[in-house]
Amino acid sequence: MCGIVGLFFKRGAATPSLGSLLAGMLSQMRERGPDSTGFALYGDEAPPGAFKVTLRAPDAGYDWAALEGELASSFPLARPVRQHGSHAVFTIGGDPEPVFGRLAQHHPELDIFGLGERIEVFKDVGLPDDVASRFDLVRRAGTHGLGHTRMATESAVTTEHSHPFSTGADLCLVHNGSLSNHNRLRLSLRREGIRFQTDNDTEVAAGYLTWRLRQGMSLTEALEAALTDLDGFYTFAVGTRDGFAILRDPIACKPAVLAETSDWVAMATEYRAIATLPGAAAAEIWEPCPATVYSWHRQ
Amino acid sequence: MVNPNGAHAIAVGLTVPVHVEIKGHVGYYCAGMNAAAEIVVDGHAGTGLAENIMSGSVRVRGNAAQSAAASGRGGLVVIEGDASARCGISMKGVTIVVGGSVGHMSAFMGHAGTLVVRGDAGHDLGDSIYEADIFVAGKVASLGADCVEKEMTPADIDRVAALLGCAQIVADTGRFRRYGSARRLYNFHIDHAAEY
């Protein structure tokens, strides 16, 4: 089944309640996806010339302080590490590639969940209320965020297979549905230099968008190309550094509801997740049309 | 009931002639399997409104999401706003009257019953339809497999007028056109293999 949610504030610096509102939306989606929960937040920005990376360790007792010391000896750490049990957010100056090379060689136990100037990605097995609490979601601020509750169908129930998937800087994708040509597409995308960490179908869709964006397409163009190149059924919600986009497959197999007020745009698989938001009662509510990209950008 | 906040399966399976008034937006399957009750939603409705309705009536003042009145066997479903994709999918005798427009694949595989649409219809209207009747006053984006326009007789105009009256929806009956099965797919013929 799966449930996806997205919340995008149109104006202002980070909204303090973004995290708690996103947690409320995710909680309403727990019945659609009891296997795992994930969310991506677009919060404080890395300083100029630096990037943020969300790393995930096999267990909550991982010695992040030791890793911080180790990385500091080779790379300029722009801010102290922020630890959240099995996940940690590092802010590092310079180019990400040498850092990834170092991690791949010396720390293969770590997964890279999110990379960019603003994005942070947290995902784990468990119900939304538990996962939100584990990563302190209710206290997080931000301008926009996406979330997902998973009912695994095409691959195993593990943290790595949870959504959101991020295969490009500040890009993330959550998906309700199931793709059927992802295995063949993964092979083609690997040849184009896209890296995959799992056999998950949604990760392929995320990689496909990353590839199209690298080719110079806009997000809208990349999503429109996806209508031709992806086979399956889907409602996608995509987050970018300053934006948010929605796409449903041409038959609109999976549900989607959009809502908009003067302050925010929200998307969810079911209206009851949107009903939790302030001002929802007066929001304009509609179902997005199939095969149509809806997108919003902050100025 | 007030403030349903999108809860699912509200007023499902009622079998007595009570009047139910719901103020706010409902989630999926509201009034499903209704038999005899009169249910009004003063708001929008989610997927599967009045699915498998047997008798009685269901009215939505706002819009309805996908698959409204799916598999309905009887009774009346009125959507004052728009209905979404697959309105009346597999309908089996229900009467559906929509004040606004319907989305793609409405009346898909409709067995029996009547769908009246004052607005427009999306692509693939009546795809693979059996003997349900469709009346649309606005534009039809495209017709589905084996669905064709049929002659609108004076009896059909009277029928539409009567249904609009029951639904309390005002429309110019002269604008409606009738669509239904060409009946070419009831028995397999190799020439139509592409339609399946």
Domain boundaries, chain B: 56-182
B65 to chain A, any CB pair closer than 8 A? The answer is: yes
**Each residue's pLDDT tens digit, A264-280:** 999 999 999 999 999 99
What is the average pLDDT score of chain B?
A: 96
The reported pLDDT for the residue numbered A205 is: 96
Nearest CA in chain B to A281: B24
The reported pLDDT for the residue numbered A287 is: 94
What kind of fold does domain A3-44+128-297 have according to CATH?
Answer: Glutamine Phosphoribosylpyrophosphate, subunit 1, domain 1 (3.60.20)
The reported pLDDT for the residue numbered B189 is: 83
Question: Would the CA dihedral through A207, A211, A212, A218 be positive or negative?
Answer: positive
In chain A, % of residues over pLDDT 70: 99
The residues near B136 (Cβ < 8 Å, ≥ 6 apart) are B117, B120, B121, B125, B176, B177, B179
A203 contacts A183 by C-beta, under 8 angstroms = no
Nearest CA in chain B to A252: B85
Domain A46-117 architecture: 2-Layer Sandwich (3.30)
A271 to chain B, any CB pair closer than 8 A? The answer is: yes
Q: Which of B29, B30, B84, B108 to mutate to test the interface with A (most CBs of A within 10 A)?
A: B84
B133 contacts B151 by C-beta, under 8 angstroms = no
Amino acid A100 reads F
Cα B37 from Cα B24, distance rounded (Å)? 19
Residue located via tokens 């694949």:
B105
Domain boundary assignment for chain A: 3-44+128-297, 46-117
Using alpha carbons, select from B114, B119, B29 the residue that is nearest to residue B68: B29
List the catalytic residue out of A2, A172, A253, A289. Answer: A2
Q: Which positions in chain A touch B24 (Cβ < 8 Å)? A: 281
pLDDT, mean of residues B129-154: 97
Q: Is the pTM value of this prediction over 0.90?
A: yes
* Domain A3-44+128-297 identical in fold to domain A46-117: no
B8 to chain A, any CB pair closer than 8 A? The answer is: yes
The reported pLDDT for the residue numbered B190 is: 85
A184 three-state secondary structure: helix
The reported pLDDT for the residue numbered A197 is: 85
Would you call A172 a catalytic residue per the annotation?
no
A274 to chain B, any CB pair closer than 8 A? The answer is: yes
